Amino acid sequence: MITRRDIMVGAGALGVAGVLGKLAVPANAQGKKSLVLASMGPVTGNWDPTSHTTLGQGNFEKFVFNALTRAPMRDGEADLLEPALAESWKLIDTNTFEFKLRDGVKFHDGKEFSAEDVKATLEYSCDPARPAASFCPGKVDVEIVDRLTVRLHTEKHGYPASAWWFISSVIPILSAKDVADPKILQKRPNGTNAFKYVETNGDKNILHAYDDFFGGRPKIDEVVYAYVPDANTRVLGLLNGQYHIAERLEPEQYASLAGNPKVTTRKGLTTENKYLHFRCNKAPFDDPRIRLAACHSIDRKQILELMGEAALESSCYVSPMKFGFTDIKGYPDYNPEEAQRLLAEAGFPNGAGLPQLEYITSIGFYPKTKEYGELIAAMLQEQGFNVQLTVLEPAAWEVAIYRRADGQGQGHMCDVGWMTPSPEPDLVLRPNWHSSAALISGINDPEIDAVLDKERNAPNPEQRLKILTEETFPTMAKKVPSFSLFSALTFHGAAKNLEGAVYLPYGPIDLSKADLV
Amino acid sequence: MLFAIDFFVRRLAQGVIIVAGIALLIFTLLRVVPGDPVRLMLGPMVSQSVAEQTAKEFGLRDPIIVQFGRYMTQIVRGDFGRSFVRSAQGGSTGGSRGESTFDASNRAPVIDLIGATLPYSLLLAGLAFLISLSIAVPLGIWAGLNAGRAPDRFALYLSSVLVSLPNVWLGLVFIYLLSARTGWLPAIGYENWTYAILPALVLAVELIPIIVRSLSVSVSSNLLEPYVYVGQIRGLTRRRMISAHVLRNSGIPLLNVLGIQAVGLILGSLFVVEYLFNYPGIGLLMINAVFQRDFPIIQAIAIFACAGLVGVNILVDFASTTIDRRLQY
């Protein structure tokens, strides 16, 4: 809070500055190791993790909350699960999943962690009335076998227990005491992870190292999680030493920082793919031949050249960081002749007779969307599609892309990225292409539904992988409800003296083993 | 006295109508332009039915005129509502919903958020005015007293350069050169008053040309007025004429510039500059509210800004008539 004294003193600021010459940035109080993270996403002050599905909030929650398992999603090990609050897990049968829990874990409020917390959390989080229930495969009944053993039962809810395999790394485990009183749950986050919440100060959230963290007390004493929406400000704050980590740099900023002696830079593959979604419940894209013709009109190599280091070539509906990723055989390639053949077959030779198509994209959120949007529009124009590109600021775009309550959405095509906090492919596949959701595309195709249901209902991960790669993805590539353009990379900048930070490919940064040296 | 009462009653009545009109315009535009706060609050994975239910709980599906009526009733009671997305603790808050978790008491009253951020903006604006006046007033007077000569040309060229510098670019350059490269000044966020210096400099650079041009033109034109010659014929020295009469009369256009143009400029530029410097004032609050479609905050700040401009306008007009009685008629 500014005092009158501050204002009086501030009035003489320039004179004083002239005398002092140099006004240093305040040092950390009492020599404690304090790290400031400049985040691009706002953090919610409603601390109930089931109240939202926003990325920024999810990233913050990872400092405070633990899940049953941990998915590090390292390159080439996308399907690896490590113990977190659960020490071991196994499928008992098709509809029963057992987790053995870690002993001696305490919540930040001092309560001992046990099976009752898992039961309360999962049954609450997966209630369809909760906004974050979309992360769950469905409702679940949790049986407490003993203080440190739980069994998840899914039979009553019509899906196999194996659907919890990866989702076990997603759902933040809450204290049963908090779940019983949602008002408490909202007021402060109370988890079991390495950092505990202390206070909110405007757009800053302060976290302190948790002495009783089961993985050992972090070396960093304090994390200041600051919401800094402007990418330039994040970079400049990094350069002047005010920030230790700057999230989500622009590709150009990453390149310009690469040789800077004050900072280190890092790029990494994410769980995000960028898609060109077709409105499949609206002419002309209700005809799969037109969709396929549009895909064959697009030369993805040109897009990749434009994107530079921010994109990785991939021909799949999920990122290489996801379980089941494969380069799909028969994924539509650039083939103008085939595009023309399909257009003619659908009754629109050279695009004649097609209506004007609106292609919605954003500016200011993802890198270079406007630029490659113009490129795609030009390629489609070349084959006879009459495309008008609509570029919207993020908030307007966020609304425009989703279908309204009447099932229809604005325009005919949308540029959308989809980043989810788990190797679980269904977090991408079902919301986007199963007819029960199809949030953007509006696709309602029994064949696609069937292959999506089949892979989800597989009794174990091995069979599921087989179905995904041999049936689900090839069917989707044939029907192209959307066209996956590339897999996205993300860029971070960090202070030179920061060591041991782990950047997860869906946004969060693990600082439990990090240090400022 | 009678004139003052009549003046204020008439102008305040006009002001209330203007502010109410602006409030309706902003209120309607927010709900007509694309951008659904509910979708931004709940995130991409939420089902359409849950999003729709939440929107209904916020009252966002009622007819606009019903929503506006409800809002104005609140305002009359002095209640500017609660933020959609900021918690009572002060941070941005995601959507919360359901009987038990859609807890309005956990969301920050807009008036508290404005109260918490306004002092930072006042410090910044005050510092910007102080810097700009301390540079622009002597320069403007010097230029005005030397119309057509080197000082006047210098002031003109300097003003031309300063007015053509985009504040975003200038802010970035200042942060880079004076903070990141040299470490002379802190630049981002707010820890103490020194964090206001750089953003205030950016604002001052925008204000200086306006004040300089206004003052130099005003001083030079006053010097050509007959009363200056008459005063000197009656025995007053030129120095006395300038200090006692010319500068006083030249102050009226400056007052108008400061009161209307400068306050308007500060209000507009504050948003950009505070966003750029991540300075926790009312401008940053507003920009973030726009990104998040936090309607109650946007509406309240727009109303206060409009009321502030109208108020300043009234005071400037009144001050002008006090200085120069001819303006009363």
Tens-place pLDDT, residues B24-39: 999 998 888 777 788 7
A3 CB-contact burial (10 Å; exposed 0-12 / middle 13-18 / buried 19+): exposed
Q: Checking DSSP bridges between strand B82-87 and strand A204-209, what pairing results, if any?
A: unpaired
Asked whether A64 and A207 are in contact (CB, 8 A), the reply is yes
Q: Which residues of A33-64 are buried (b: 16+ CB within 10 A; e: fewer)?
A: bbbbbbbbbbbbbbbbbbbbbbbbbbbbbbbb
Asked whether A423 and A413 are in contact (CB, 8 A), the reply is no
H or E element, residue A486 = strand A482-495
DSSP assignment of B242-286 equals IIIIIHHHHHHHHHHIIIIIIHHHHHHHHHHHHHHHT--SHHHHH
Question: Which chain A residues are closer than 8 Å to B175 by Cβ?
Answer: 233, 236, 240
Decide if A42 and B89 are in contact by the 8 Å CB cutoff.
no
Tell me the whole-structure pTM to 2 decimals. Answer: 0.85
Side-chain-side CA neighbours of A19 within 13 Å: the count stands at 4
By Cβ distance, the residue of B93, B98, B280 closest to A45 is B93
A206 CB-contact burial (10 Å; exposed 0-12 / middle 13-18 / buried 19+): middle
Decide if B52 and A405 are in contact by the 8 Å CB cutoff.
yes
Decide if A7 and B126 are in contact by the 8 Å CB cutoff.
yes
Three-class secondary structure of residue B134 per DSSP: helix
Decide if B191 and A135 are in contact by the 8 Å CB cutoff.
no
pLDDT at A258: 86
Decide if A130 and B98 are in contact by the 8 Å CB cutoff.
yes
Considering only alpha carbons, which residue of chain A is nearest residue B116?
Answer: A1
Structure tokens that stand for B211 in this block? 């004040």
Cα B31 from chain centre? 24
Asked whether A141 and A66 are in contact (CB, 8 A), the reply is no
Q: How far off is chain A from B13, nearest CA to CA, in Å?
A: 33
Decide if B180 and A240 are in contact by the 8 Å CB cutoff.
yes
Adjacent-strand bridge partners of A191: none
Three-class secondary structure of residue A207 per DSSP: strand
Residues 52-81 in A contacting B (C-alpha not used; CB under 8 Å)? 52-55, 57
Question: Which chain B residues are closer than 8 Å to A400 by Cβ?
Answer: 34
Q: Is the pLDDT of residue A348 over 90?
A: yes
Q: Is the pLDDT of residue B91 over 50?
A: no
**Longest Cα separation, chain B:** 85
Token look-up 């332009």 returns B33
Going from the C-alpha of A240 to that of each of A236, A255, B223, the distances in angstroms are 6, 18, 50
Q: Which residue of A240, A250, A403, A427 to mutate against B (max B Cβ within 10 Å)?
A: A240
Decide if B87 and A46 are in contact by the 8 Å CB cutoff.
yes
Decide if B187 and A236 are in contact by the 8 Å CB cutoff.
yes
Q: Is the pLDDT of residue A311 over 70?
A: yes
Question: Which chain B residues are closer than 8 Å to A237 by Cβ?
Answer: 187-189, 278
Decide if A202 and B176 are in contact by the 8 Å CB cutoff.
no
Q: Mean per-residue pLDDT for B187-198?
A: 92
Residues 421-440 in A contacting B (C-alpha not used; CB under 8 Å)? 427, 431, 437, 439
Q: How far off is chain B from A421, nearest CA to CA, in Å?
A: 11
Q: Mean per-residue pLDDT for A321-337?
A: 95
CB proximity list for A29: less than 8 A, separation 6 or greater: none
DSSP assignment of A237-254 equals HHHTTS-SEE-S--HHHH
Three-class secondary structure of residue A274 per DSSP: strand
Q: Is the pLDDT of residue B90 over 80?
A: no
Question: Which chain A residues are closer than 8 Å to B52 by Cβ?
Answer: 405
Three-class secondary structure of residue A195 per DSSP: strand
CA–CA gap between residue A90 and residue A71 (Å, rounded): 16
CA–CA gap between residue A287 and residue A22 (Å, rounded): 67
Side-chain-side CA neighbours of A48 within 13 Å: the count stands at 31
Q: Mean per-residue pLDDT for A291-315?
A: 96
* Closest alpha carbon to A495 in A478, A480, A516, A477: A516
* Closest alpha carbon to A317 in A305, A331, A304, A306: A331
By Cβ distance, the residue of B98, B184, B293 closest to A395 is B293
pLDDT at A89: 97
Considering only alpha carbons, which residue of chain A is nearest residue B131?
Answer: A14
Beta strands in A176-229 (DSSP E): 195-201, 204-209, 222-227
Q: Is the pLDDT of residue A219 over 60?
A: yes
Question: Which chain B residues are closer than 8 Å to A44 by Cβ?
Answer: 85, 87, 91-94
Three-class secondary structure of residue A74 per DSSP: strand
pLDDT at A174: 97
CA–CA gap between residue A203 and residue A187 (Å, rounded): 16
Question: Which chain A residues are closer than 8 Å to B39 by Cβ?
Answer: 398-399, 402
Structure tokens that stand for A375 in this block? 């490129």
A180 and B CB contact within 8 Å: no
Q: How far off is chain A from B201, nearest CA to CA, in Å?
A: 10
Residues 380-409 in A contacting B (C-alpha not used; CB under 8 Å)? 392, 394-396, 398-400, 402-403, 405
pLDDT at B103: 60
Three-class secondary structure of residue A166 per DSSP: helix
Question: Which chain A residues are closer than 8 Å to B292 by Cβ?
Answer: 42, 395
Least confident of A386-395, B95-104, B112-121, B208-217: B95-104
Taking only the tens place, the pLDDT of each residue in A235-263 is: 999 999 999 999 989 888 999 998 898 89
By Cβ distance, the residue of B48, B277, B291 closest to A395 is B291
Structure tokens that stand for A427 in this block? 């977090």
Q: How far off is chain B from A94, nearest CA to CA, in Å?
A: 27
Going from the C-alpha of B139 to that of each of B148, B163, B249, the distances in angstroms are 14, 15, 17
Structure tokens that stand for B90 in this block? 């002060």
Decide if B193 and A185 are in contact by the 8 Å CB cutoff.
no
Cα A273 from chain centre? 10
A256 and B CB contact within 8 Å: no
- The side-by-side arrangement of strands in the sheet containing A86-93 is A86-93, A96-101, A149-153, A141-146
CA–CA gap between residue A474 and residue A479 (Å, rounded): 9
By Cβ distance, the residue of B93, B108, B120 closest to A44 is B93
A270 or A395, greater pLDDT: A270
By Cβ distance, the residue of B34, B97, B108 closest to A399 is B34
Q: How far off is chain A from B221, nearest CA to CA, in Å?
A: 32
CA–CA gap between residue B276 and residue B172 (Å, rounded): 8
Question: Which chain A residues are closer than 8 Å to B134 by Cβ?
Answer: 14
Decide if A240 and B34 are in contact by the 8 Å CB cutoff.
no
CA–CA gap between residue A494 and residue A38 (Å, rounded): 10
Decide if A43 and B43 are in contact by the 8 Å CB cutoff.
no
Decide if B97 and A431 are in contact by the 8 Å CB cutoff.
no
**Longest Cα separation, chain A:** 80
Mean pLDDT of chain A: 91
pLDDT at B326: 60
Going from the C-alpha of A73 to that of each of A170, A247, A405, the distances in angstroms are 12, 19, 36
Decide if A201 and B90 are in contact by the 8 Å CB cutoff.
yes
Decide if B188 and A21 are in contact by the 8 Å CB cutoff.
no
Q: Which residue of B45, B54, B173, B275 to mutate against A (max A Cβ within 10 Å)?
A: B45
By Cβ distance, the residue of B34, B180, B189 closest to A392 is B34
Mean pLDDT of chain B: 84
DSSP A116: H
Q: Calculate ∠ Cα A471-A474-A478, nearest 5°.
A: 130
The count of CB pairs under 8 A between chains A and B is: 247
Question: CB atoms < 10 A from the CB of A222, how many?
Answer: 18
Taking only the tens place, the pLDDT of each residue in B119-132 is: 999 999 999 989 99
Decide if A14 and B88 are in contact by the 8 Å CB cutoff.
no
Query: Using omega within 30 degrees of 0 as the cis cutoff, is the peptide bond preceding B109 cis?
Result: no
pLDDT at A135: 92
A444 and B CB contact within 8 Å: no
CB proximity list for A483: less than 8 A, separation 6 or greater: A275, A276, A278, A291, A294, A295, A298, A332
Decide if B188 and A395 are in contact by the 8 Å CB cutoff.
no
Rg (CA), chain B: 24
Instruction: Give the 3-state secondary structure percentages of chain A, helix then strand then coil, rounded to 5.
Output: 35, 25, 45
Going from the C-alpha of A229 to that of each of A249, A327, B291, the distances in angstroms are 11, 35, 9
Taking only the tens place, the pLDDT of each residue in B139-182 is: 998 998 888 889 889 999 999 999 889 989 999 999 999 998 89
By Cβ distance, the residue of A26, A43, A228 closest to B92 is A43
B2 CB-contact burial (10 Å; exposed 0-12 / middle 13-18 / buried 19+): exposed
Going from the C-alpha of B72 to that of each of B61, B66, B83, the distances in angstroms are 17, 10, 16
Taking only the tens place, the pLDDT of each residue in A4-49 is: 444 444 444 434 444 334 444 444 545 789 999 999 888 766 789 9
Decide if A203 and B91 are in contact by the 8 Å CB cutoff.
yes
Decide if A427 and B127 are in contact by the 8 Å CB cutoff.
no
Taking only the tens place, the pLDDT of each residue in A391-418 is: 998 888 988 999 987 889 999 999 999 9
CB proximity list for A38: less than 8 A, separation 6 or greater: A226, A228, A233, A234, A237, A238, A243, A245, A246, A247
Asked whether A266 and A498 are in contact (CB, 8 A), the reply is no
